[in-house]
Amino acid sequence: MKAAIVLQAGATPVYDDFAAPIPTDGQFPIEITAAALSQLTRSRASGSHYSASAAFPFVAGVDGVGICAGRRVYFVLPEAPYGSMAEQAAMVPERCVVLPDTLDDVTAAAIANPGMSSWAALKHRARLVAGETVLINGATGVSGRLAVQIAKHLGARKVIATGRNPASLAELASLGADVTISLAQDGSTLAQACKEQFQAGVDVVLDYLWGASAEMLLIAAAKHGRDGVPLRFVQIGAASEADVKLPGAVLRSSAINLMGSGIGSVSFAHLLRSIEELLQAAKPAGFQIETRSVPLSQVEQAWGDDGGTARIVFTM
């Protein structure tokens, strides 16, 4: 079968032949139709993600959409060395979700991973209560734009969105953001804007950036948050920096609950349930995601393209 093959850590996958998977007991063959190029896929291929494999070669891709026993399904985490960026997969039913008829293959492949990140964080980590206020740090990317929409759908009364791209920030109002804060403004103006929001009340922070902006928000929450009212700060991604330098007094002097959301901190069953709920809600809720379809044969040319606000989806 044709596949996108990772030959070594950090190398761009190559489009070449790879032995097709042979289903074992309990597995079913899947004819893959679409697989998205997510940050998780890139990180695992580069070897930088904590869940990355150290064995090469392997097929890139963590999830995808295909046909199994006549039904369209979304599937996730094929067993190594197989991945989703190939013509075929072999999967157990426990790692598959039947797609609703209203959702096309490309959209389903594109929305599952980035949408799951905020759905699982809000429902299973933060345990969002309808009427609460959510701040999304790093809301101008694909995942952050979906997080704004999902927070509103799950009952957030107010959504505050941060980011650097002014055009993308301006678009977030149409997706449900009530307040936008530019991370590109000068430090004192930014600090004042955050102070005002935490004084008004923030219940949940979803952080896709980490680094300096996360430090700033945690310090602002400690200084200006509501006394004794817990803030659930959920760390999801590190698009900005891998580390923070956080004074211990921030946590000692406040009711901040600092937690992560991802593979390991959320059970696989809950992650899959989050994806299933997201896919069922996507069309009725009107979730918007830009997509760009690319033939898998062009994986080498498209791999380094971040897609901007569009999610690249390889089609077989």
Instruction: Give yes or no: residues 120 and 95 share one domain.
Output: no
Instruction: Give yes or no: residues 73 and 149 share one domain.
Output: no
Instruction: Give yes or no: residues 94 and 189 share one domain.
Output: no
pLDDT (0 to 100) of residue 39: 85
Q: Are 153 and 281 in contact (CB under 8 A)?
A: yes
Instruction: Give yes or no: residues 297 and 232 share one domain.
Output: no
pLDDT (0 to 100) of residue 174: 96
In a domain, 218, yes or no: yes
Instruction: Give yes or no: residues 138 and 34 share one domain.
Output: no
Instruction: Give yes or no: residues 141 and 245 share one domain.
Output: yes
Instruction: Give yes or no: residues 252 and 299 share one domain.
Output: no
Q: Which of 85, 115, 101 is nearest to 297 (CA)?
A: 85
DSSP state of 17: E
pLDDT (0 to 100) of residue 82: 96
Bridge partners of residue 260, in order along the sequence: 235
In a domain, 105, yes or no: no
Q: Which of 139, 125, 111 is nearest to 280 (CA)?
A: 111
pLDDT (0 to 100) of residue 145: 97
Instruction: Give yes or no: residues 253 and 304 share one domain.
Output: no
Instruction: Give yes or no: residues 20 and 150 share one domain.
Output: no
Instruction: Give yes or no: residues 211 and 180 share one domain.
Output: yes
In a domain, 194, yes or no: yes
pLDDT (0 to 100) of residue 24: 92
pLDDT (0 to 100) of residue 44: 86
In a domain, 139, yes or no: yes
- Say which CATH number the domain at 237 has: 3.40.50.720
In a domain, 167, yes or no: yes
Instruction: Give yes or no: residues 253 and 129 share one domain.
Output: yes
pLDDT (0 to 100) of residue 43: 87
Q: Are 18 and 86 in contact (CB under 8 A)?
A: yes
- Say which CATH number the domain at 44 has: 3.90.180.10
Task: Show Cβ contacts of residue 143 under 8 Å, excluding neighbours closer than 6 positions.
Answer: 39, 114, 115, 117, 118, 208, 236, 237
Distance CA 132, CA 155 (A): 8
In a domain, 267, yes or no: no
- Domain holding 184, by residue range, is 116-260
Task: Record the pTM.
Answer: 0.93
In a domain, 274, yes or no: no
pLDDT (0 to 100) of residue 307: 77
Q: What's the structural domain count of the chain?
A: 2
Instruction: Give yes or no: residues 85 and 143 share one domain.
Output: no
In a domain, 108, yes or no: no
Q: What is the pLDDT along the chain (316 residues), one digit of tens a residue?
A: 999 999 998 899 999 999 999 999 899 999 999 999 998 899 888 877 776 667 899 999 999 999 999 999 999 999 999 999 999 999 999 999 999 999 999 999 999 999 999 999 999 999 999 999 999 999 999 999 999 999 999 999 999 999 999 999 999 999 999 999 999 999 999 999 999 999 999 999 999 999 999 999 999 999 999 988 999 999 999 999 989 999 999 999 999 999 999 988 999 999 999 999 999 999 999 999 999 999 999 999 999 888 788 999 999 9
pLDDT (0 to 100) of residue 52: 65
